[in-house]
Structure 1
Amino acid sequence: MNNTFKMLLGAGFAVAVAFYANSIIGQASHGGFLVLAAVFGAYMAMNIGANDVANNVGPAVGSGALTIGGAIIIASIFEASGALIAGGDVVGTIKKGIIDPSAFGNDPMVFVYAMSAALLAAALWLNLATWLKAPVSTTHSIVGGVLGGGIAAGGFAIVSWGTMGKIAASWVISPVLGGVIAAIFLYVIKSQILYKEDKLAAAKKIVPILVALMAAAFITYLTLKGLKKVWPVIVDTLSFLPQTKKPTLFIALLFGLIGASITFVIVKPRIAQKVMGMEATRESINLLFTIPLIFAAALLSFAHGANDVANAVGPLAAVYDALTTHGVSTKAAIPLWVMVVGGVGISIGLALFGPRLIKTVGSEITELDQMRAFSIMMAAAITVVIASQLGLPVSSTHIAVGAIFGVGFLREWLDSKNMGAKQEKLRVEVGKQNRLKDALSQLKTDEDYKRQIDLMESLKIQKKKVKSLKRSLRENYVKRGMVKKIVAAWVITVPVAAVLSAIIFFVLKGFAV
């Protein structure tokens, strides 16, 4: 499918959304701005699918557990399901409380301009980041957009700089937490399975425990982050549960423990059966993690759809609320059609433009296999749970990419411990190369021609050996160029989105006048 056709399909979705928005707003005053915001919302949703969703499925694809086509199908289904089943009924119109609502002077149209500008600015930045193969935070993009629109509307004084400071801190907190947790899990796998003399016996014992831990992590994560909308229905049905408005950490951990126990009982005999006919190789043991990775990709996609779809539809819901109530609200109900725009738009964007970032996350930062991808997925779930309970502002994108960095740097560190042996081997091989050169230089007569050819061929082979050893000594398991590009993109996300949003705000305001 060529790029022109993809863009036409994306444009077709945006046009369909525009027609629907126009049909429901009718002859309302300034109704054209809902149509415009709906198009921006559709564009934003597709860009979230193209950029953000890659973090959920990229490691599974890079490890070979899923094909790109399979990943797109699974993620599309579960992203849309998460948005429609467990997405919120109400969304904060001013993301993360970064600006004071009074900045808009109770003028709903100024608010509409700011939210529309935020949507378009965030979408444009995500589009550019995807083209640059840089996975960036969707949340930070929309935060930057709202920040820029708010400043354009009411000046710098209306910004909550303390909140912005926390968001800036997440640039460090998210990737470091994700990286450390992923590295710990990978080290456990290596030390408890791969470095053991009887790898199969170790795998038989450890893999069921790791899979049960994954089940616990994901069930806890989904309970906290994916069941908020349907929790009142659950507690009404299961009256023995605490009658709370949303799941508590204790209940989430309890669900996780129950799920882990059931998973362990189911998985243990199956792993034992698989291990019986396996070879004691890394490749064989890797296969034990394939099915857990597929489940992890599906569950991460569901949780992402339930939570991050608000990044696409929040400002659109805010515009709809402002135009229909003629006021500025800090919270707005999300109509079903708006949630559908978000869920379907994310799936379309993933299917059309997602493979570019899936490849980047899966294979262009560091080389992944199933064990490494498993560690990354575990880190993604556990870090979100820990951070949300500590009140730390983290980005799912930064966590996932930080986990990939952590896995790569751990591999590099473990390999560096063998550096002395490698250097000694290089010294020996360079000595052989020099002796071959000396022998070749001493052959001067025509009678030595055949010997000369033999020596030249041996020297050629030896040079390749030396070159390969030198390259392995210089090798970095994490591509430094990608690290620099991604970190730079993270740092400039908020300011770039803010500047774009401010410019778009003034254009929209001028156009309306």
Structure 2
Amino acid sequence: MSDAKIPKRILDKDLDKFANVEEAAGFLSRSLIAPGLALLFLASAGIFASLYVFGEPRATIVIAAAAIAGYMALNIGANDVANNVGPAVGARAITMGGALVMAAVAETAGALLAGGEVVETIANGIIFPDAVADPNVFIRLMVAALIASALWIHLSTWLRAPVSTTHAIVGAVVGAGAAAAGLSAVNWLSMGAITASWMLSPLLGGAIAAALLAFVESMVIYQDDKIAAARRWVPLLIATMAGAFAAYLATLGIGKVVTLANSTVAAIGIGCFLAAWVAFHRIVGRQSRGLENRNQSLRHLFVIPLIISAGLLSFAHGANDVANAVGPLAAIVYAAGTGEVAAEAAVPFWVMLIGALGISVGLLLFGPRLIRIVGAEITKLNPVRAFCIALSTALTVIVASWLGMPVSTTHIAVGSVFGVGFYREWAAIRSIRRRAYLQRKQEILSPATIEAEPVAPPPTTNLLAGGKKGSQQEIIRRRLVRRAHVRTIVAAWVTTVPASAVLAALFFYLLRSAS
């Protein structure tokens, strides 16, 4: 080896090291962009609040609370909104970028247009107001609740677990309220009823989603003439979605602006159902012309309704769940300005704006992480399955609202995803209609054209018991529902209320000792 080649080789190695350093620095800087923009938003929220409260009593605590409420809103956007658009993204009905923009616009519009001018200051009446009549104690309670719930949601997002932001804030209020005034300050009877409804809602959502998917498979997918069956049933399904979402928006989307009786909500839903049924008979008939008699053709008929449902879910979510961030802040602003504690408080526009923009910014910066979990990693979705999930979410919320049950849309939406996945596991092994359909395909079609689906073994196989590694039931189980995500999400659901409560109690004690 010549002397001239040795320096060149050393130089090449040095240049490679510089290139690696530059690449690592670029990667690190990209990973810091989102946190940097989030911090900029929080600082802007505090500055924005100071324009309205500077010079007023307790202005400092209000400015700090505005930044904390902005942090809470960021976490709501990063975690909760994934349930609205995740199925549509997982089904490839819309791209990730398109879903983020659509959801951000819909969330902001829902919060600002239908978020309400008055919110409850103590979530769901779980704390007796007389127990925290001192405004200084009340302000510390709400600040502690905001910090605790926001931190728990942040941790859950980092762990890739979609949780209920309503659960987090309610648990935090319980913990801070108990720390402030003792366990007797908590309305345990109301809390017990709320907890029971939270446990039932994901089961109800999952059952409805599974029943819808079973209906679609039985009446459309497993029919010999799929296109004729689609012309008959798809308009009915889309009309049901239109009616359900009309009632959903009337119940939650604008319920804080205009109070509507159940009969009025029902009339709105029925009217939209009939109008959509007439319209989509023509639309589906036109779309289905020339389509091949295969499952892939059917999925195109559900794409547009699925995208619309994702936008409507986001609008209703913005209108309803923005209160989880702005409710405590509005209560703090009212108590700081008047020196009184009220069961309800008016929401200044600047407070609502912080909540609305915070949800959208959090979604745009951090939302893709959980959107992928909900839409693609729990179970495989297509437009038909995602449509069943969206419709199940709306139907379950409507039923629960009419029954007077406070529910979590997060639990319902994710429960619907679980319901679809577990139904597919059951159907892959035990569905008689599915086996008959596959048998007909084998008799009619050549093996090369048969869709690659696992052929069901005899129904005596116990799917839930699993099977030996590599066995068919084990392959189906691992392919259809990822148990690791199920365990993580359910564990996060179970621990959200107690964890938020403990954190809030600790922060309340810290705030009290600091003052």
**Superposed pair shares fold, TM > 0.5:** yes
How has the CA–CA distance of structure 1 residues 139 and 422 changed in structure 2, closer, same or farther, with 3 Å as cutoff?
closer
User: CA shift at 1:223, angstroms?
Assistant: 1.0
Q: Does 1:277 align with 2:304?
A: no
Q: Give deviations 1:231-279, integer Å, cap 9, x for gaps.
A: 3xxxxxxxxxxxxxx1111111211121122212221112112212111
Distance 1:293 1:470, change over 3 A: closer
> Which residue number in structure 1 is paired with residue 224 of structure 2?
197
The residue number in structure 2 matching 1:123 is 150
Seen in structure 2, the aligned counterparts of structure 1 residues 257 and 95 have a Cα distance that, compared at 3 Å, is same
Once the two structures are superposed, residues 398-447 of structure 1 have per-residue CA deviations (whole angstroms, 9 ceiling, x without a partner) of 000110011111111111126997558xxxxxxxxxxxxxxxxxxxxxxx
**Partner of 1:247 in structure 2?**
260
Kindly indicate whether the alpha-carbon contact (under 8 Å) linking 1:227 and 1:247 is maintained by their aligned counterparts in 2.
Answer: no
Give unmatched runs, 5+ long, in structure 1.
232-245, 425-465
Report whether the alignment pairs 1:484 with 2:470: no
Query: Is 1:30 aligned to residue 55 of structure 2?
Result: no
Structure 2 vs 1, CA of residues 206 and 473 (structure 1 numbering), >3 Å: closer, same or farther?
closer
In 2, are the aligned partners of 1:422 and 1:473 still within 8 Å (CA)?
Answer: no
Question: Aligned in 2, Cα 1:275/1:44: closer, same or farther, shift over 3 Å?
Answer: same
Does the aligned pair in 2 maintain the 1:121–1:504 contact within 8 Å? yes
**2:99 paired with 1:86:** no
Q: Does 1:103 align with 2:131?
A: yes
- The counterpart of 1:174, out of the listed 187, 201, 209, is 201
Task: Tell me the alpha carbon deviations over residues 252-307 of structure 1, each in whole angstroms, 9 at most, x when there is no partner.
Answer: 12111211222122211121122121111111101110000010011111111111
SS for the counterpart of 1:2 is helix
The secondary structure found in structure 1 opposite 2:345 is strand
1:51 to 52, 75, 79: 79
Cα drift, residue 169 of structure 1: 1.2
SS where residue 133 of structure 1 aligns?
Answer: coil
Query: Is this contact kept in 2: 1:119–1:145, CA < 8 A?
Result: yes
Q: Deviations over 1:429-484 (max 9, x none)?
A: xxxxxxxxxxxxxxxxxxxxxxxxxxxxxxxxxxxxx9575753654622222111
Q: Which residue matches 2:371?
A: 358
SS for the counterpart of 1:332 is strand
Q: How does 1:369-448 map to 2 (within 5 A)?
A: 369-417=382-430, 423=457
Paired position in structure 2 for 1:509: 512
Out of 217, 223, 245, the position equivalent to 2:250 is: 223
1:350 & 1:193 partners in 2: Cα distance? 36
Which amino acid in structure 1 is aligned with residue 110 of structure 2? G
Distance in 2 between residues matched to 1:182 and 1:299, nearest whole Å: 18
Letter in 2 for 1:166: A
CA–CA distance in 1 between the matches of 2:385 and 2:227? Answer: 18
Give matches, 1:468-483, under 5 Å: 469=472, 471-472=474-475, 475=478, 477-483=480-486
Deviation at 1:389, TM superposition (A): 0.8
Matched residue, 2:33: 5
2-structure distance, mates of 1:346, 1:65: 23
Return 375-384 or 275-284, whichever deviates more: 275-284
**Aligned residue identity for 2:499:** V
Q: SS where residue 322 of structure 2 aligns? A: helix
Give the 3-state SS of the residue equivalent to 1:276 in structure 2: coil
Please tell me the residue identity of whatever aligns with 2:426: W
Looking at structure 2, the residues matched to 474 and 173 of structure 1 have their Cα atoms a distance apart, in angstroms, of: 25
SS at match of 1:323: helix
Preserved contact between residue 224 and residue 248 of structure 1 (Cα < 8 Å): no
Which protein is bigger by CA-based radius of gyration? 1
The Cα offsets for residues 143-162 of structure 1, whole Å up to 9 and x where unpaired, read as 01111111111111111111
Q: Give, as a single letter, the amino acid of the residue that structure 1 aligns with 2:502.
A: V
State the partner residue of 1:337: 350
Cα distance in 1 for residues equivalent to 2:456 and 2:298: 27
- Aligned pairs, how many? 456
Distance (whole Å) between structure 2 residues aligned to residue 150 and residue 222 of structure 1: 32
| Match of residue 147 from structure 1 | 174
Percent sequence identity is 49
Q: Could you tell me how far 1:75 is from its partner in structure 2? A: 0.5
